[in-house]
Structure formats: C-alpha cells, structure tokens
C-alpha cells in the first residue's frame, strides 16, 4: 500500500520531471495489477485527470506516459472489486467522449486490449494433392445447372449466368505465382459458414462451393472463353467453383444499385452487422478494402506498405481502394481473406479498427461514385471539388447505421445511449477532405526505381498516367519522380488529413470491445452504469 501511495505522489506532482513521472506510471500500473483490491477510487479519478493534463499532452513522449496511465485504469477494471471497476468504467467513458490525441489513443488501445472470448470454427486443413482435371461441361452437369448466356470474365473470375437468371456459376482462377492454399481456404470457409448459417444474419448469402471428394481446386482442360492477357493466370488453368446469387458481384457503394437511399443504408448496415458478428466469433475478414500507407514501397518496407491505422499516417489512394470493396448486396465477399483469431488483445482490436475504418471510407465513396469522372485535378491543375456530391443528412445517417450495426453485431445487443462519436463534426470533416482532391502526389523514390527492370519501370509509369513518349524519356534511378496517383488522405510522408476519422475509428473499436467485455465478464458493473452516459452529442440526422 505504501509503495502504491508513493508512486501516486510522484505521478501527481506537477513539479516532478517527466521521465520520473513516466517511471512512476509504469510502477503504479504494475502495483495495481498485483493488488487491485488495495486501489482507492481516488487513484482512478486522479489517473483520469492526468490524461487531460495539457502540460503532459504537450510532452513529446506523452503517448507512452498515457499508455501506462490508461493501462493502470484498465487493470483496476479487470482485477478490482465492482465499485473500483465501475469507477474505471466511468473514467474510460469520459475519456472516450472527451479526450483527443495521444490521450485518446492510449485510452482506446487499453480498452481494445480487454480480454474477450473468441471461438472461431476449426477449418479443416486443405489437402495438398494435385488438383484433378475437370471440364466446364462436367462442372455444370455435376451442379445440375443449365446455362443460357455466354460466360464472361470479371477480374479473375469467370462468370456464367444460369438459367432462371437468379444465380451465377463462378470459376475463380489461381493467379500466376499465387499459393493455391488461398483458394482452397476460400471454399473451406464457404463450407464452414454454410454449416453455421443459423448464427449469421438471414440476408448474408454464402455461396455454394463445388467439391468432388476432398478436392475443391481443379484444373480445367479448356475454357469456354479466353481470359484477358493482363490477368496473368496460373497455367494450367486452376480454379475453384461456386454458385452464387446473381447480385453477388454488385457493390454496396454503387448508387446505381439502389432505387432509394434507404436501400443503400440497409445494405451498409447488413455488411456492418455481418463483419461485427463474425469478428465476435474470432472470424476476421482481413481485407474489406485494401488499406495502404504506401503502395509503391510495399516490396521493401517491413510493414509491406500496409496501413497501420492507429498511427494516423497518410492513407494512400483512398478512393481507388474503395473501387471494388468486398462489401456487396449479398454481404461480405472474397472468403479467401477470412482468418481465425483465437485470442483477443491488441491485434484483435487492430482488425476491428480496420473493419470500421473501411466501412467509413466506403460510405464516403458511395457519394463520390455518383460521378466517378469528377476526380483528381482539373484542366488548370487545381484540385477537383466534388463536395456537392455529398448529402450531409444521408452521410450522417450512413455513418450512424455503420457504427451501430457493427456494435450490435459484435456485442450481440444494440448500443445503449448515444454514440461516443460526434457525427456532426465527423461528417463535416469527411466532406471537406474527401470531397476535394487536395492530396494527389506520390513520390517514386530512386531506390524503388532501381529495383525495377526497364520494362517494369516503363509499365509502372504508363499505368500511372504517363504517355508512352513521356515514359520513354524518363531516366530510371536518376531522381525521385512525382506521380499524380491520388486522391490520398494526406500529403506524401505526412499525417492523415482527417485525424477525426482515426479518432472515430479508435473510439468505436474500443467501445465494441468494452461492450463485449462488460457483457461477458462484468455484467453487474454493466447494469450499474448509468444508461446513456456515452455522449453529449445529438447524432440523430
């Protein structure tokens, strides 16, 4: 007890040097974890106050201090008696509602690491035997389907409309140099989710995969139509097959797919609910949309250029990332991206945040997709202004539907009270930054150029808007080259231009984990907290 009080005195003394206060925060967190029952309610209240201390906020290493402080509050909630847990809960709710910057990040990451039970299904290992050969006619015969139209390619999938015009036969092909386990895994997840369909929303469509014995991957002796050369498919042609609804490839962010906004809102709510419901079981879709900080450098970066959203860096090509989302009229698609997580914690919280951020980005792209040609720079080289494509009321409604849908899917019940996110501010900032394409530039560094062959270098430039003549004149590896590949969210090597988007993502991801933790672990504390304490904001559109 004396040790705990001693560390409290140091951490609360504004005249103490910052490094000493940081060490005291580390010690205090450890002591609370060891003896949570000896922690006083005032200790938690004082720790909460420290996370709003502007003198601490201004410290360059403030995040690390706040991480220990928030961790100490979390230790008191998970290990302490109900009164202590209730005080910690009130402190965290206040932080989620009012904290910003490094203080908010620390609080959300502490909550995101709370323990919750995950129980993903066991996916049977895919047999590594060579894929058997099969013909297109044999597939249609075994599936007892009849065709009435010419098949066509959409991406790497060969799609055959079936008689009756309500279903599709799909062959998804293995790419050149791709691991065949990816496609085998997709059919395994289809089987698993179809077997547990009672646990999923009724409107979530899981395609029916084709298998023969243990085989789910097949070699095709010939194709009914030739694939485009640009696909670079594996040879001999190798694919999985499945039957899906006719609208399986219709995207949730295409205005033309909906007669009314209410229909679009419903579909985005469905996708949010599904993502949350699956994540609650430990089934994580790892790519609702591709999120990158830097696509060009992904081959030489340790993080592969992937977007680490808690760090709030520049988001690369946000609108292009939303072009083909794995969110459709039938629910989530591309089952090869499913992964099973058996343990909650920081990584699990990170994936939840990726889901929420992806959904918010796709919501904004819905409005930009009303006029896809209106993007980039105009003829005078000025950023295109597409803010008029947004409807503020509809955007707020869409954001609300997404956040509430994901929360309900993840926790199993609707959110009580108001959202801990100010939708007025968030929607306004999204329209301002995502409606004007200010950040268009990307830098192709010399080192990245040097790692390309001459042919790869030329193809790279052509794919990014260079004319053949201009590409031929470009000298490889001599200087950095400026490319106009946006719109991005933030300038090259800078922070994201909408920090509110990251804060909303973190706040909602933490809220989801907290809600699930309280439901499973602290039901009495959950019942004692005052309903509706989550917000002072009026979010109703």
Q: Give the pLDDT score at 297.
A: 65
Q: What is the mean pLDDT of residues 139-158?
A: 84
- What 3-state DSSP class applies to 313? strand
Q: 25 or 537: whose pLDDT is higher?
A: 25
- What 3-state DSSP class applies to 116? coil
Instruction: Count how many domains the chain has.
Output: 4
- What 3-state DSSP class applies to 88? helix
Q: What is the mean pLDDT of residues 349-362?
A: 98
Q: What is the mean pLDDT of residues 416-440?
A: 96
Whether 414 is covered by a domain: the verdict is yes
Q: Give the pLDDT score at 531.
A: 43
Which of these ranges, 15-24, 331-340, 423-432, 461-470, has the smallest mean pLDDT? 461-470
**Based on the domain organization, do 332 and 479 belong to the same domain?**
no
Q: What is the mean pLDDT of residues 174-179?
A: 92
Residue with tokens 């008191």: 76
> For 452, which DSSP code?
S
Q: What is the mean pLDDT of residues 138-144?
A: 82
Pairing of strands 133-134, 218-220: parallel
User: Any bridge partners for residue 272, and if so which?
Assistant: none
Whether 410 is covered by a domain: the verdict is yes
Three-state DSSP string of 357-423: HHHHHHHHHHHHHHHCCCCCECCCCCECECHHHCCHHHHHHHHHHHHHHHHHHHHCCCCCCCCCCCH
Which of these ranges, 134-143, 321-330, 428-437, has the smallest mean pLDDT? 134-143
Does residue 539 carry a pLDDT above 50? no
Among 245, 268, 292, residue at a domain's last position: 245
Q: Give the pLDDT score at 534.
A: 44
Whether 532 is covered by a domain: the verdict is no
Which spans in 281-337 are helix H? 318-321
Among 113, 147, 163, residue at a domain's last position: 113
Residue with tokens 């609300």: 400
**Based on the domain organization, do 215 and 156 belong to the same domain?**
yes
Does residue 540 carry a pLDDT above 60? no
- What 3-state DSSP class applies to 486? strand
Closest CA to 398 of 353, 370, 429, 365: 365
Q: What is the pLDDT of residues 188-203, one digit of tens each?
A: 999 999 998 888 888 9
Query: What's the pTM?
Result: 0.92
Does residue 45 carry a pLDDT above 70? yes
Q: What is the mean pLDDT of residues 170-175?
A: 96
Whether 126 is covered by a domain: the verdict is no
**Based on the domain organization, do 151 and 203 belong to the same domain?**
yes
Pairing of strands 439-444, 481-488: antiparallel
Q: What is the mean pLDDT of residues 175-181?
A: 90
Whether 538 is covered by a domain: the verdict is no
Q: What is the pLDDT of residues 88-106, one digit of tens each?
A: 999 999 999 999 999 999 9
**Based on the domain organization, do 13 and 42 belong to the same domain?**
yes
**Based on the domain organization, do 426 and 402 belong to the same domain?**
yes
Does residue 328 carry a pLDDT above 60? yes
Whether 87 is covered by a domain: the verdict is yes
Q: Give the pLDDT score at 137.
A: 86
User: How would residue 65 be classed by pLDDT, with cut points 50, 70 and 90?
Assistant: very high
The torsion angle over the Cα atoms of residues 450, 455, 456 and 459, rounded to 10 degrees, is 130
Q: What is the pLDDT of residues 448-491, one digit of tens each?
A: 888 889 988 998 899 888 989 999 889 998 899 988 999 999 99
**Based on the domain organization, do 194 and 270 belong to the same domain?**
no
Does residue 349 carry a pLDDT above 90? yes
- Answer yes or no: are the C-beta atoms of 421 and 403 closer than 8 Å: yes
Whether 322 is covered by a domain: the verdict is yes
Whether 122 is covered by a domain: the verdict is no
**Based on the domain organization, do 226 and 163 belong to the same domain?**
yes
Rounded CA-CA distance 91/97 in Å is 10
**Based on the domain organization, do 62 and 99 belong to the same domain?**
yes
**Based on the domain organization, do 291 and 414 belong to the same domain?**
yes
For residue 166, what is the domain's CATH number? Answer: 3.30.200
Closest CA to 116 of 521, 527, 539: 521
Q: What is the mean pLDDT of residues 281-295?
A: 92
**Based on the domain organization, do 48 and 173 belong to the same domain?**
no
**Based on the domain organization, do 434 and 447 belong to the same domain?**
no
| In the chain, % of residues over pLDDT 90 | 71
Mean pLDDT of all residues belonging to the chain: 91
What domain range is 516 assigned to?
A: 255-439+486-520
**Based on the domain organization, do 334 and 301 belong to the same domain?**
yes
Rounded CA-CA distance 486/360 in Å is 18
Closest CA to 349 of 157, 116, 127, 535: 116
How many angstroms separate the Cα of 218 from the Cα of each of 154, 189, 245? 19, 17, 22
């Amino acid at each position: 007890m004396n040790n705990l009080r001693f560390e409290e005195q140091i951490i609360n003394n504004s005249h103490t040097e910052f490094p000493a206060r940081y060490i005291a925060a580390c010690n205090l967190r450890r002591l609370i974890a060891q003896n949570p029952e000896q922690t006083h309610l005032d200790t938690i209240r004082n720790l909460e106050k420290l996370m709003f201390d502007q003198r601490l906020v201004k410290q360059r290493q403030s995040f690390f201090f706040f991480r220990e402080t928030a961790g100490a509050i979390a230790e008191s909630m998970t290990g302490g008696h109900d009164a202590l847990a209730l005080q910690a809960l009130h402190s965290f709710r206040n932080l989620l509602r009012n904290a910003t910057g490094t203080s908010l990040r620390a609080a959300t990451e502490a909550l995101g690491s709370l323990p919750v039970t995950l129980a993903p299904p066991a996916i049977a290992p895919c047999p590594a035997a060579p894929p058997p050969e099969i013909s297109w006619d044999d597939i249609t015969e075994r599936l007892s389907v009849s065709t009435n139209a010419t098949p066509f390619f959409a991406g790497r999938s060969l799609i055959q409309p079936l008689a009756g015009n309500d279903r599709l036969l799909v062959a998804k092909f293995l790419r050149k140099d791709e691991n065949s386990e990816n496609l085998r895994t997709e059919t395994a997840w289809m089987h698993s989710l179809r077997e547990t369909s009672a646990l999923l929303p009724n409107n979530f469509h899981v395609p029916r995969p084709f298998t023969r014995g243990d085989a789910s991957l097949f070699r095709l002796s010939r194709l009914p139509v030739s694939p485009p050369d640009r696909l670079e498919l594996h040879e001999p042609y190798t694919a999985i097959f499945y039957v899906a609804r006719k609208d399986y490839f219709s995207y949730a962010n295409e205005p033309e797919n909906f007669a009314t906004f209410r229909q679009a809102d419903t579909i985005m709510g469905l996708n949010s609910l599904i993502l949350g419901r699956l994540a609650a079981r430990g089934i994580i879709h790892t790519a609702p949309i591709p999120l990158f900080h830097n696509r060009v450098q992904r081959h030489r970066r340790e993080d592969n250029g992937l977007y680490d959203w808690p760090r709030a860096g520049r988001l690369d090509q946000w609108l292009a990332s939303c072009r083909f989302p794995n969110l459709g009229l039938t629910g989530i698609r591309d089952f090869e991206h499913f992964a099973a997580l058996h343990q909650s914690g920081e990584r699990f919280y990170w994936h939840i945040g990726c889901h929420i951020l992806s959904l918010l980005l796709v919501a904004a792209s819905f409005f930009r997709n009303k006029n896809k040609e209106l993007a980039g720079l105009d003829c005078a080289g000025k950023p295109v202004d597409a803010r008029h494509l947004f409807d503020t009321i509809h955007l707020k409604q869409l954001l609300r539907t997404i956040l509430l849908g994901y929360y309900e899917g993840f926790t199993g019940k609707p959110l009580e009270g108001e959202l801990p996110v100010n939708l007025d501010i968030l929607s306004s900032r999204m329209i301002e930054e995502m409606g004007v394409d200010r950040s268009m530039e990307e830098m192709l560094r010399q080192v990245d150029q040097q790692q390309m062959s001459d042919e790869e270098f030329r193809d790279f430039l052509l794919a990014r808007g260079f004319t053949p003549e201009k590409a031929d004149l470009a000298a490889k590896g001599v200087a950095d080259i400026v490319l106009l590949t946006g719109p991005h969210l933030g300038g090259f090597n800078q922070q994201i231009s909408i920090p509110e988007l990251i804060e909303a993502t973190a706040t909602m991801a933490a809220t989801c984990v907290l809600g699930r933790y309280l439901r499973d672990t602290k039901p009495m504390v959950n019942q004692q907290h005052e309903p509706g304490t989550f917000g002072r904001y009026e979010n109703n559109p």
